[in-house]
Amino acid sequence: MPVCAGMTVFPNLFNCVMGREMKQTNYDVVVVGGGNAALCAALSAREQGASVLVLERAPESERGGNSAYTDGKMRFAYNSAEEIIALCADLTPDEIAASDFGIYTEEDFFDDMIRITQHRTDPDLCEILVKNSNAAMHWLKSNGVRFMPNYGRQAYRVDGRFKFWGGAPIVTWGGGPGLMEALYKSAGIKGIDVMYDAWVRDLIHSDSGVSGMVVRINGTTRSIAAGAVVLACGGFEANTEWRSRYLGRGWDLAKVRGTKYNTGDGLAMALRIGAQPFGHWSGCHATGWERYATDFGELAVTPSFQRHSYTFGIMVNANGRRFLDEGADLRSYTYAKYGHIVLEQPGQFAWQIYDSKVRHLLLDEYRTKYVTKVTADTLEELVEKLEDVDKAECLKTIREFNQSVRKEVPFDPNIKDGKCTAGLVMPKSNWAQPIDTPPFEAYAITCGITFTFGGLKVTNEAQVVNTNHEPIPGLFAAGEVVGGIFYFNYPGASGLTSGAVFGRLAGRSAGCFAKNTRVAA
């Protein structure tokens, strides 16, 4: 992205402050939040020559928001394997030869966004996301982020080759923690100040716009002046009361998959000064999750709570019945809406059932100690072990399922193979195989909420708009704070891309705004 007109890019004017006392109380740009969107905004504002401060509510050991909890999967448009190879510096010739990366064009990305959001995604925001997705990957790389192909999770080895599916073939090195480590390192090198334990409580606002914020740092409340503010402080998924209020009945009972610090503060403080709510405020991303997981994410164990291999088995509820089509689509296009359906089941739980034919396809987290799991050599024994489930009905369900599978269709985990059931009220559309090969395994799950979809209305320059449909001078937003991008569901791996694209845009806009305001003054 270009430097804004009439501006100078300053050399490294400010010494890096990481978590210690600030050296100044007046910055060109202050970024609220410490995740991917925030760091991208900070780096981008710095590119414009702005002095930048990042205020992260979490302590340093828990920095990075939900972004640090991710696998680091990123969806972006690409037209050839060469583009993947260019991003993944460490690929060997053997790995390249054994990989079919396919292509994922801007049209594919658009189609997925429109189909998955049921035609609700805001056309302008969607276009910004899709058309800047590829460039954002290269920009992240230039900021020290490393990428690698997502072998084993987005591609299974079939006949010696990995065929990638689902539009997200690569991940960041070291997953979410690796991504955040790289971005914080880059921020340090580029002279961006970072304060931890910095809980932003309010915006300072007048008729001329936003000029700073009130923040509690290490227990002391103070004001910081800013030429522009970027809100990149997440949604409200960790706020039990807001979940019940906006998402509805039962959502207070969901487990939070990520950070406990995303309590909707940025949304609340923006709404207080007249910002316009936008998007799907009663919608969220939620998945199947270990039934007895901790209430909030914990960086060391959270990846082990994921249960995303349901496409290769079946799920039953307390009544012993299946309640969704486990094979409706590739996992990337269903997992974010299935948590909601699990939450609606009696007791808010379900069991995933697999046999030994697919055991090798289960993701690594199924093999950790953080599972509620039962195993048995017969189906009769297995259902006896399923806590809180109607045993007779469950056995009937499995037997009916086994009889309904179209055995003549070959199984292929890398494509929608059309291996379906016939004659069931609740079909399974792909990857349907009889559960008939012992030992059998079952895993207890509940609903884990990832992030909320409702947010603030922004312009095409990521500037926050008020309820009078006017841009609020000095206020910008990025990441989960922005509304109008995702509705009902979400194409897997779009969240980090959205944070990078809108963070970069918001940072550039905020940097330009602050500088132009300063020049005018």
Ligand X SMILES: Cc1cc2nc3c(=O)[nH]c(=O)nc-3n(C[C@H](O)[C@H](O)[C@H](O)COP(=O)(O)OP(=O)(O)OC[C@H]3O[C@@H](n4cnc5c(N)ncnc54)[C@H](O)[C@@H]3O)c2cc1C
Residues that bind ligand X (CB under 6 A): 32-38, 55-58, 64-67, 69-74, 198-200, 232-234, 257-259, 261-262, 265, 302, 450-451, 479-480, 493-496, 499
Minimum distance from residue 172 beta carbon to ligand X (Å): 9
Q: What angle do CA 95, 101, 103 make, to 5 degrees?
A: 155
Q: Name the residue nearer to ligand X (CB basis): 284 or 512.
A: 284
Largest Cα–Cα distance in the chain? Answer: 78
Q: Running DSSP on this structure, what letter comes out for residue 299?
A: T
CA distance 235 to 318: 31
Report the candidate in 257, 197, 231, 215 with the shortest Cα–Cα distance to residue 451.
Answer: 257
Minimum distance from residue 213 beta carbon to ligand X (Å): 9
Minimum distance from residue 300 beta carbon to ligand X (Å): 13
Element containing residue 520 per DSSP (H, E)? helix 494-520
Minimum distance from residue 288 beta carbon to ligand X (Å): 12
Minimum distance from residue 317 beta carbon to ligand X (Å): 24
Minimum distance from residue 500 beta carbon to ligand X (Å): 9
Q: Name the residue nearer to ligand X (CB basis): 34 or 49.
A: 34
CA–CA distance from 424 to each of 321, 405, 417 (Å)? 12, 10, 18
CA distance 138 to 174: 18
Parallel, antiparallel or unpaired: strands 161-164 and 155-158: antiparallel
Q: Name the residue nearer to ligand X (CB basis): 34 or 279.
A: 34
Residue type for position 411: F
Report the candidate in 376, 513, 507, 489 with the shortest Cα–Cα distance to residue 119.
Answer: 489
Q: Name the residue nearer to ligand X (CB basis): 479 or 507.
A: 479
Q: Name the residue nearer to ligand X (CB basis): 435 or 478.
A: 478
Q: Name the residue nearer to ligand X (CB basis): 30 or 362.
A: 30
| Under 8 Å between Cβ of 413 and 361 | yes
Minimum distance from residue 361 beta carbon to ligand X (Å): 19
- Record the tokens describing residue 62, joined without a space: 């828990």
Q: Name the residue nearer to ligand X (CB basis): 200 or 224.
A: 200
Q: Name the residue nearer to ligand X (CB basis): 58 or 472.
A: 58
Report the candidate in 180, 170, 176, 192 with the shortest Cα–Cα distance to residue 85.
Answer: 170
Minimum distance from residue 75 beta carbon to ligand X (Å): 7
| Under 8 Å between Cβ of 335 and 308 | yes
Minimum distance from residue 490 beta carbon to ligand X (Å): 8
Burial class (CB in 10 A: 0-12, 13-18, 19+), 207: exposed
Q: Name the residue nearer to ligand X (CB basis): 457 or 515.
A: 457
CA distance 159 to 408: 20
Q: Do you know the residue count of the chain?
A: 521
Q: Name the residue nearer to ligand X (CB basis): 84 or 420.
A: 84
Residue 515 has a CB neighbour count (10 Å cut-off) of: 24
Minimum distance from residue 84 beta carbon to ligand X (Å): 17
- Record the tokens describing residue 159, joined without a space: 């006949």
